[in-house]
Structure 1
Amino acid sequence: MKLHSPLLPLFQYLEQFHPLSREFMEAHEKNCKLIRVKKYKYVLSPIDNNASLYFLVSGIVRGFIKEGKKDISTWFSFGNEVIGAIRHPIEHSNHSMEYLQALEDAVLICIPYTLIENAYLAFPEANLIGRKLLALHYYAASERSILARIPNASDRYHKLENSKQDFDRIPKRYLASYVGVRLETLSRIRTKDVEQGFSTISKKLETESQVSTEVVSAYG
Structure 2
Amino acid sequence: MKNYTHLDQVVETMSDNYSLLTDDCKNDIKASCKLVSLKKLSLIVKEGQFADKMYFIAKGCLRAFYLKDGKDITDWFAFEGDFVSPINSFFQHCPSKHNIESLENTTFLEISRETVFALTSEHHCFERLGRIAITKIMLQLQERIVSIQFETAQQKYESLISVRPDILQRVPLTHIASYLGITLETLSRIRNPKNRI
Fold similarity call, TM over 0.5: yes
1:113 is matched with 113
State the identity %.
Answer: 24
Are the equivalent residues in 2 in contact too, given 1:86–1:97 (CA < 8 A)? no
Q: Distance in 1 between matches of 2:7 and 2:107?
A: 11
Matches within 5 A, 1:50-129: 50-87=51-88, 91-93=92-94, 95-129=95-129
What one-letter code is carried by the residue in structure 1 that aligns with 2:82?
A: E
Pairwise CA distance, 1:16 = 4.1
Pairwise CA distance, 1:18 = 3.4
Pairwise CA distance, 1:152 = 2.5
SS across alignment from 2:117: helix
Deviations 1:138-181 (A, max 9, x none): 11111111121135322322222232441212101001101111
* TM-score normalised by the chain length of structure 2: 0.86
The verdict on how the C-alpha distance between 1:103 and 1:6 changes in structure 2, with shifts beyond 3 A counting, is same
2:143 is matched with 143
SS across alignment from 1:39: coil
1:130 is matched with 130
Are the equivalent residues in 2 in contact too, given 1:37–1:107 (CA < 8 A)? yes
SS across alignment from 1:162: helix
Matches within 5 A, 1:1-220: 6-87=7-88, 91-93=92-94, 95-150=95-150, 152-168=152-168, 169-192=170-193
Higher RCO structure, 1 or 2 (CA under 8 Å, sep 6+) = 2
Are the equivalent residues in 1 in contact too, given 2:64–2:100 (CA < 8 A)? yes
Q: Distance in 2 between matches of 1:18 and 1:44?
A: 27
Residue segments in structure 1 that go unaligned for 5+ positions in a row: 197-220
SS across alignment from 2:36: strand
Are the equivalent residues in 2 in contact too, given 1:56–1:108 (CA < 8 A)? yes
What one-letter code is carried by the residue in structure 2 that aligns with 1:34?
A: L
Pairwise CA distance, 1:55 = 0.8
What one-letter code is carried by the residue in structure 2 that aligns with 1:145?
A: I
What one-letter code is carried by the residue in structure 2 that aligns with 1:183?
A: L
Deviations 1:59-89 (A, max 9, x none): 1111111211111111112212211123267
* TM-score normalised by the chain length of structure 1: 0.78
Return the index of the structure with the highest Cα Rg.
Answer: 1
What one-letter code is carried by the residue in structure 2 that aligns with 1:18?
A: S
Q: Distance in 1 between matches of 2:128 and 2:101?
A: 30
Q: Distance in 1 between matches of 2:22 and 2:129?
A: 12
What one-letter code is carried by the residue in structure 1 that aligns with 2:43?
A: Y
What one-letter code is carried by the residue in structure 2 that aligns with 1:134?
A: I
The verdict on how the C-alpha distance between 1:61 and 1:17 changes in structure 2, with shifts beyond 3 A counting, is closer
